[in-house]
Amino acid sequence: MKGYVVLEDGKVFEGRSFGATGEALGEVVFNTSITGYQEILTDPSYNRQMVCMTYPQIGNYGVNLEDAESEKVHVEGFIVKEACKYPSNFTSVMSLGDYLKQHNVVGVEGIDTRALTRHIRLAGSMKAVIVASETTPDFAALAKRASDWEGTGGVDSVKDVTCKAEYVFAGTHGRPVTAEPKYNVVAIDCGVKSNILRILANLGCNVTVVPASYTAEQILAKNPDGVFLSNGPGDPAAVTYVQDTIRGLLGKLPLFGICLGHQLLTIALGGKTYKLKFGHHGGNHPIRNNDNRVIEITAQNHCYCTDMKSLEGLDVVESHTNINDFTCAGIANKDKGYFSVQYHPEASPGPHDSGYLFREFIDLIETFKAKK
């Protein structure tokens, strides 16, 4: 069956279908990771987006039961050069194509992913329709449909991925929590990844995950030792209710944010964010820790960025900087009890370059507890 990627500017890429049939609508971004496709597919931060993998062969080790970052696939569509039909790994339970079919996600292979990536780099992330069909579709109509779609800008995507009710994290399939709890931490779920919760739990945190709609008063009523601001999808400026919650928590508890949590903290402090031309998506982004000048190799997945100029005069330091384009990759004021980063330390591409951030959160909790 044929597969097509039709961009909003009318450009068409033709290949073969290897997932579910039908159509999907989303924003196309490219990801430079060589492995980790299952984690990418199940990352809630990719809600309303379609991912083009730049590495040419994807699916070699299949899909297993342990590596999912959430309970379902969140990408709207998946685009690769070549999808491996016969994976080889002792943990594999199915192929990538079967996994996409199981979750009703359209996949397209056989297109020139280098050309698509270059087009996005030059023109910027684009809205698109991805199609798996026996017949040739009306490309002009699909391009208009993509162009007319509201996309991700100004849209609250968090409401689509946050949990419906609070719960205490107790591990995931095949990966139980091994540490005894010493600290009570509330995680605001804007689309949190399982591995973040697992790391916090294994550092001694009893993690209560709450919906993004929870207010500061509801969170403070749980008497937590610290609050984690999670990753998630979409435009941070549209998630005003979480911004309000963070404002109500500032100075009262230690706060640690990752990705969208970092952006929401920026806005809550009085700053602004802006959309990058094509975002940062992949597992090989160099970040400089501005405190010790050490370079970390990081995993990233975001389209929005902190505007450091908007934070001038607010006693906020740029703790980390992206060495590729010198955008802000972290902010902090440990004296006031908050810090955040614009990358994913739990993804471990370094592999352990950024693991210290979770320990710093624990240290901050200890510092605050000592002051009481």
Main-chain dihedrals φ then ψ at residue 158, nearest 5 degrees: -60, -35
- Helix-then-strand count for the chain, H and E: 9, 19
Residues in the chain: 372
Q: Decide if 69 is catalytic.
A: no
| In the block, residue with structure tokens 């696939």 | 73
Q: Is 259 a catalytic residue?
A: yes
Catalytic residue among 27, 76, 109, 346: 346
As a whole number of angstroms, the distance between CA 323 and CA 278 comes to 16
> 259, 303, 305, 328: which is the annotated catalytic residue?
259
**Closest Cα partner for 186 from 169, 207, 204, 215?**
207
Residue 346 catalytic? yes
- Sheet with 338-341, edge to edge strand ranges: 167-168, 205-211, 183-189, 226-229, 255-258, 338-341, 328-333, 317-322, 272-289, 295-307
C-beta atoms surrounding 133 within 10 Å: 15
What distance in Å separates the CA atoms of residue 341 and residue 357, rounded to the nearest whole number? 9
Alpha carbons 354 and 348: distance in angstroms, whole number: 7
Cβ of 180: how many Cβ atoms within 10 Å? Answer: 7
**What CA–CA distance (Å, rounded) separates 270 from 351?**
34
Instruction: Report the C-alpha gap between 13 and 50 in whole angstroms.
Output: 14
Instruction: Reply yes or no: is the peptide bond before residue 351 cis, omega within 30 of 0.
Output: yes
The CA distance from 67 to 37, in Å, is 10
* d(C-alpha 58, C-alpha 268), whole Å: 39
Write out the catalytic residue numbers: 259, 344, 346
